[in-house]
Amino acid sequence: MEALIKELVEIDGPSGEEAAVRELIRERIEQSVDRTFTDNLGNLFALREGPAPLLLFSAHMDEIGVIVTHIDDHGFLRIAPVGGVRPHLLLGQRLRFKDGLLGTVYHEKIKDLKELDWSKLYLDIGAADGETARKHLRIGDMACLHQPFVNLGRRYLAKAMDDRSGCAVLIEAARRLPRSLPQGVCFLFSVQEEVGLRGATTAAYRLEPAYGFAVDVTSVGDTPEAPLMAVALGKGPAIKVKDRSVICHPRVRDLMIATAEQEKIPYQLEVLELGGTDAGAIHLSRGGVPSGALSIPCRYVHAPSEMIDAGDLRHAVTLIEKLASRAWPLPEKEI
């Protein structure tokens, strides 16, 4: 999976501009499913046909980035966040636009780092003046962090592990599925998760799945002075109990736990106090969809370099494969 992860993270795809990521994923998964299609927002659906109940597994394609809001007469650009970007983490970082143009981020004169906010940041693309800068860029152009993939042995380091690692898990799981499945399965690669779970909202409404699952990263509590959290790198993927967007359905959560234990797949339980995933949108679709989430432990989420464990990734693939392969009951309607 290392080569697949590298391919995925080194493509740029900020929220709303996921086309390049979508086309790569389509190429990598289309031989493993019956058909692929997109919708009006740009979500990619990869479907294995089968009887009810339909299972929906979702990982988002978009990544955090910045958007150009102003170009001054000296050629410096003002920027705003696309998704959950913290301004102090951008200082000195290189950003890349989709045509390959690079720039570096710095700040106006401040007395203390506490004064730093988006109004103090600027992006320098090396333009001699505003006229030169405007020949290359315009208001509304987006850029992503420019960071290569690095293999650290047991761990992988790159930008956009959130959530290209989840995309890689779904692609690899689709490759491993048996030809015959007890129910239909759709792998969704959603858009605009980082700005409000938007792609998953419309996709779930269209598909009307019986069960929904998000596959995304989660924060960890295993770094120095980290917030107390019972998730660590290298101890297996995390089965979500709750985050700010969803309380996972008990029947779904319990079936996920039972599957992991039956297959001897290491797992952790996750309660995430901040943040959410596509499950937050899926479970509210139409009359409600019993939903769960599988999380890939990740250090430094929404930082220029995010770190995941190769073993956690492999175990996540196995668990998704086993969940998609087992027979799921039709959901009970509670009246």
The string of pLDDT tens digits covering residues 314-323 is: 999 999 999 9
> What size, in residues, is the chain?
335
| Residue written as token pair 């980035």 | 65
- H/E stretch holding 201: helix 198-207
- What does the mean pLDDT of the chain come to? 96
| Co-location of 193 and 281 in the same domain | yes
- Per the CB < 8 A criterion, the answer to whether 101 and 137 are in contact is yes
Which strands sit side by side in the sheet containing 55-60, from one edge to the other?
Answer: 35-38, 44-48, 185-190, 55-60, 211-218, 291-297, 238-242, 268-271
Q: Quickly state the pLDDT bin for 335 (edges 50, 70, 90).
A: very low
| Co-location of 217 and 282 in the same domain | yes
193 is an active site residue: yes
Higher pLDDT, 226 or 30: 30
CA distances (Å), 62 to each of 141, 160, 167, 232, 248, in order?
15, 8, 10, 24, 23
How many structural domains are present in the chain?
2
The number of angstroms, rounded, from the C-alpha of 156 to the middle of its chain's C-alpha atoms is: 16
The reported pLDDT for the residue numbered 228 is: 85
Here the CATH number for the domain that contains residue 140 is: 2.40.30.40
The domain of 272 spans 2-63+159-325
Calculate mean pLDDT across residues 55-62: 98
| Co-location of 140 and 225 in the same domain | no
| Co-location of 199 and 320 in the same domain | yes
| Co-location of 103 and 220 in the same domain | no
Q: Residue 242 in 3-state DSSP?
A: strand
Residue 334 has pLDDT above 70, yes or no: no
Residue 127 has pLDDT above 50, yes or no: yes
The reported pLDDT for the residue numbered 111 is: 87
Residue 161 has pLDDT above 50, yes or no: yes
| Co-location of 181 and 58 in the same domain | yes
Nearest residue to 59 (alpha-carbon basis) of 146, 151, 159, 161: 161
Tokens standing for 43? Answer: 């979500």
The string of pLDDT tens digits covering residues 167-184 is: 999 999 999 999 899 999
The reported pLDDT for the residue numbered 287 is: 93
Of the residues 17, 18, 193, 270, only one is catalytic, namely: 193
| Co-location of 57 and 71 in the same domain | no
Domain-embedded: residue 154: no
| Co-location of 191 and 288 in the same domain | yes
Domain-embedded: residue 112: yes
**CA dihedral defined by 41, 282, 48, 25, rounded to 10 degrees?**
50
Q: Quickly state the pLDDT bin for 325 (edges 50, 70, 90).
A: very high
Calculate mean pLDDT across residues 59-77: 98
Tokens standing for 154? Answer: 């047991």
Nearest residue to 124 (alpha-carbon basis) of 115, 140, 136: 136
